[in-house]
A = this chain, B = another copy of it.
């Protein structure tokens, strides 16, 4: 038996089933959190039997860990692309737009992450203090340079980044609430949000 843990030499079936399980697990973990999710739910969602799932993964923890480790890479991707440019305001607004698009297109990933963080990030704290902090420090320094050069208004770069995470992820994590409040106007919520946020960050950053 070749466990999915060994990344080399996987058969077609191993690759396919592993994906199906992760897809189902994402749905379940995002909705109920780690402790609230059950392997039976993942089994039901994926159409596989419970023992079959445990044939591919070494347990509930392992499935969750795999999802989280994948997620972090995807999640940091938009921030990585925040590059130097002659127009910092556009650069930041483009980042906001990318991040909002991720909330729209990958709400389950956002909720998986939110569940983990709210509950104290017990299984991802190391990565937060490592990868996430390193990247954020780097980009905060870049933004600080823009401030110092007078290209944008003076602001705290860290809290600017926090506010971007908060405002964009809100549309994935709190979607039920947003829809409840907007009711019939909810359909265009992502377009409205894009316009509002672009407007707000331009006002915040432009001299």
Contact = CB atoms under 8 A, between A and B. Distances in A.
Interface in A169-200: 169-171, 173-174, 176-178, 180-183, 185, 192-193, 195-197, 199-200
Contacts of A99: none
B183 A133 contact: yes
Interface in A84-141: 111, 114-115, 117-121, 125, 128-129, 132-133, 136-137
**What copy number does this chain have within its complex?**
2
A31 interface: yes
A189 to B, nearest CB: 8
Given A119-B36, A174-B118, A181-B132, A199 B192 contact: no
A31 B200 CA distance: 33
A93 B121 CA distance: 31
Nearest to A169: B166
B33 A115 contact: yes
A204 interface: yes
Interface residues of A, number: 54
Contact of A203 (B31, B125, B169, B204): B204
A190 B21 CA distance: 41
A69 interface: no
Given A118-B118, A133-B181, A155 B36 contact: no
B119 A180 contact: no
A162 B125 CA distance: 28
A153 interface: yes
A156 interface: yes
A107 to B, nearest CB: 10
5 contacts: A31-B119, A118-B173, A132-B177, A158-B192, A163-B200
Given A117-B173, A163-B197, A166-B174, 15 more contacts: A36-B119, A117-B177, A118-B173, A121-B180, A128-B181, A129-B183, A132-B181, A133-B181, A153-B203, A158-B182, A158-B185, A160-B196, A162-B181, A200-B204, A203-B204
